[in-house]
Structure 1
Amino acid sequence: MYVCSCFGVTEKQVKEHASAGACTPRQIASACKAGTDCGSCVRRIQAILGRGNCPRRELLDQGVPALTAEPAVVGEVAQLGEAA
């Protein structure tokens, strides 16, 4: 069954990307473009992802804080801005 008509993405493909580690609709979109055109499939993608097995989600549920940008990268961006 098609989840995303715009890009011809099936429910099976979304589940395969989820099994490969895509935990959010944005990650699914990065993997196969589903949800990036009209957006009508995003809720269906969310439903398919549900509360499935996602390593990062499990860490958040255990109280481990979400990862933020590494300071080195932020510092490099700041240096680029100063050089301009």
Structure 2
Amino acid sequence: MLRVFVCSCFGVTDRQIEDHAAAGACTPRQIASVSKAGTDCGSCVRTIQGLLGRGACPRRELMEQGEEALSATALSEVRLSEAA
């Protein structure tokens, strides 16, 4: 298994970042809170952002679903007020 170090300061690999993202960490700050990656020299933060941008984020998907539900509810309320 090939390990690609994303954060050399703390020895965090791309696989670890992906695992944390799968567990729900969707931002570099959330990755930093569970792994310390990006908290020392900061040179890996853009790489972490790139890795997070490649995959689906469970929290982001839930937020988008919530926004869609909220939009549908708001649209229904507008239609009801127009009908009154």
Normalised to the residue count of structure 1, the TM-score between the two structures is 0.68
Higher helix share: 2
- The residue number in structure 1 matching 2:33 is 30
Find the partner of 2:58 among 48, 55, 60. Answer: 55
The residue identity in structure 1 corresponding to 2:45 is V
- The residue number in structure 1 matching 2:46 is 43
Identity %: 71
d(CA) in 1 for partners of 2:36 and 2:57? 20
The structure with the larger Rg is: 2
Deviation at 1:33, TM superposition (A): 0.1
**Unmatched 5+ stretches in structure 1:** 66-84
Normalised to the residue count of structure 2, the TM-score between the two structures is 0.68
For residues 7-26 of structure 1, the aligned pairs below 5 Å read 7-26=10-29
d(CA) in 1 for partners of 2:38 and 2:18? 14
Stretches of 4+ aligned residues off by more than 4 angstroms: none
Deviation at 1:54, TM superposition (A): 1.7
Alignment coverage as a number of residue pairs: 65
- The residue number in structure 2 matching 1:6 is 9
SS in 2 for 1:6: coil
